[in-house]
Chain A
Amino acid sequence: MISAAALAKSTPEKRLITTKPRTSDVIFRGVLTTMSMSSLLILTLIGLFLSLRGFQAFQTQGIGFITKVDWSAGVDGGADTFGLGAMIIGTLLISATALVIGVPLSVLTALYLTFYAPESLKRSLVTLVDLMASFPSILYGLWGFIVLMPMAEYWAQLIHKYLGWIPLFSIPSPAYARSPFIAGLVLAIMIIPIVTSVSREIFNQTPLDRIQAAYALGATRWAMIKAVVLPFGASGVVGGAMLGLGRALGETVAVYSVLNIVFKVNFQVLYGFGGNIASMIVGKWGEASLTESKALLAAGFVLFVMTLIVNLLANFIVRRTVKTGK
């Protein structure tokens, strides 16, 4: 046997392996690379066009574009005020309602599907949830307006009756119809499929050896879930919730159908008016002057950035949970 030192001495240098690719392959690579860059191109263009065309609004309004809460096109040559603040608050309020209602329900459903549902039912229920994800948003809007609204109004009245002392749930006058609560409720139902799907995938990947360790110690099913599944899947569920949030932030027609769109700040979630950025753009579009149109484009840019950040964060979190399997 050669000693290690002698081996090191006599080992030749590594050969550089090269190949001259055939022309057709060079073209192939080139085409694929260029075409793939289309996604970069599109995203950049979106950001560019919206911000450039809408730049005027940022210019004239400054930071007030985001912080001011008044949006009124100047009448008869008066000064325009384009303040997105009210709609940002509205967007956040509705999305928060959607998360508060939708995420717990999704997690419960995901746990049920993974650990409690009988085998025979599981397949059909999972298909049903996936099916829910493919329903068009206008269906949710129509259904929310016609079917859900009366029930939601009743629930809002109940909430006000028992919890009205909390400022969030107080209202100046009994106008329960078409409130942010109802919009949030519809959005909650819309995001349940996404959050349930992601949560279910995460829960399915809980390491089996930990589950077995818990059961071998005499744990009941719930004790095992609490000790093993929830710590493991927590960050993945957060990622899923953020994906749901991303969807809720940009939802247009469903909100527009059920919410009474008024461009003023409203913190009182049960009170019958509100708005979000997306529905504002749609609502004001028809009669907007050129200046206002540009401001709406700027608003679209703000929405674009918001959803971009939330989505990227969400994907990052979900990817990381799946990878490290913490």
Chain B
Amino acid sequence: MTTITNLNSVKPTKPWKVTKRQLIPSLTLLLAAAIATYVVVAVTPMKGKLAYALLFFIFGTGFQSALSWSKRGKSAATDTIAAAIMMTGGILVFLPVASLLITTIVKGSKGLRLQIFTNTMEKTSYSDPLTTGGLLHAIIGTLFLVLIATAISLPLSILTALYLTEIKGKASALIQFLVQAMSGVPSVVAGIFIYAALLLTTDLRGSTIIGALPLAILMIPTVTRTAQEVLLLVPNELREAGLALGATQWKTVATIVVPAARNGLITAVILGVARIAGETAPLLFTLGTSDKINWNIFSGGQNALPYYVWSGLIDGTESGLARSWTGILVLLILVLTLFVSARSFGSRKVK
């Protein structure tokens, strides 16, 4: 039997890892593929970025799989082609994401000045040069809408989630089904529903509070689903401990379960807000727009970040579009901040 000191002198290795040396043939082939691409482009009428990309893919994959075939046989060649396709698919998917982010940052930062956070469009029109005007009213409007929508949807969502996880009554299957169904309602349908219900046959006109209603409808499924997931993560032992102490179910839930899931519930709300902050369509039917901040949430129009972007797009002038990009940039920063904070809340340990 070997002694302890001998055992520790052997070092762990991973002989299956592809070494740099082994990569050399592949890299050489890729180089050859690049050369072949240039040659073909020069010689044939194929032109343009698409031609380069396509040819490089074909030559690169072709050469590599030929090498695999010669060294290891047919199935290795298929494997190489498959791997190449997977990687290309991945790149194709991430290109738009990169483009979306980069375009937004580049185009949006043109109109980004400190003043846009303090001015409104009260005295400016969208086609005016970018040195005037701002989107403060849009930010405030989005804030109002989000707050009202959250105030309405939060209680409903949390209580529904609690029903599903704590009471698990006979209606659970039905309610689960309904929450799922609600998550598929398109935003435009939510908007025209509120219109049909409240505005079509009455004297009511669109207002901030009415505009928040379809947003609440869109928010409920997201918050409910996430809340349900985090409530299920609370260990049953905690509930049993509370009940064993003689507390009622409601006390147990209120004082033990909900605080334990607190971080997760915050995540749920944040995700819900992220979902609705960028919604445009519902507002078109339930809320008039406005060039300034409207402190009256019960009457009159209101602007919001997506609305602001939309108006700039409709305007179509260079300034208008530039404003749209800036609005989108601000909206994107807002959504990304929410996204990141939701993640950080979600990963914090339950106390």
Contacts and interface: CB of A to CB of B under 8 A. Distances in A.
Interface string B184-209: 11111110110111001100000000
A42 B76 contact: no
Contact of B197 (A27, A45, A131, A300): A45
Interface SS, A side: helix
Interface string A123-145: 00101111110111111111101
B339 A134 contact: yes
Interface SS, B side: helix
Query: Most A CB atoms within 10 A — which of B274, B313, B325, B343?
Result: B313
Contacts of B195: 297
B50 A158 contact: yes
Interface residues of B, number: 91
Contact of A311 (B103, B180, B343): B180
B269 to A, nearest CB: 15
A300 B189 contact: yes
Query: Most B CB atoms within 10 A — which of A28, A115, A129?
Result: A28
Contact of A36 (B96, B171, B196, B339): B171
B169 A33 contact: yes
Interface residues of A, number: 92
Interface string A290-312: 00011011001001100110111
Given A53-B200, A108-B90, A131-B339, A46 B180 contact: no
Interface in B125-153: none
Given A189-B96, A282-B188, A311-B184, A43 B178 contact: yes
A153 interface: no
Nearest to A225: B82
Given A142-B309, A142-B328, A155-B50, A42 B217 contact: yes
Interface string A142-164: 11011110000011001000000
A25 B250 contact: yes
B112 interface: no
B179 A136 contact: no
B335 interface: yes
A308 B181 contact: yes
Interface stretch (A165-173, A204-212, A251-259, A260-268): A251-259
Given A39-B182, A40-B175, A50-B193, 20 more contacts: A25-B250, A29-B249, A32-B167, A33-B163, A36-B160, A46-B193, A53-B201, A105-B92, A105-B93, A108-B93, A116-B90, A136-B332, A147-B99, A155-B50, A221-B83, A225-B82, A252-B187, A253-B281, A307-B184, A308-B185
Interface of A: 21-22, 24-25, 27-29, 31-33, 35-40, 42-43, 45-46, 49-50, 53-54, 104-106, 108-109, 111-113, 115-117, 125, 127-132, 134-143, 145-148, 154-155, 158, 189, 192, 196, 219-223, 225, 246, 249-253, 257, 278, 281-282, 285, 293-294, 296-297, 300, 303-304, 307-308, 310-312, 315
27 contacts: A32-B167, A33-B169, A36-B163, A39-B224, A46-B217, A49-B196, A50-B192, A104-B89, A116-B86, A135-B332, A136-B278, A136-B279, A137-B278, A138-B328, A143-B100, A147-B103, A220-B75, A220-B76, A221-B82, A223-B79, A251-B186, A253-B306, A253-B310, A278-B186, A282-B281, A285-B284, A307-B189
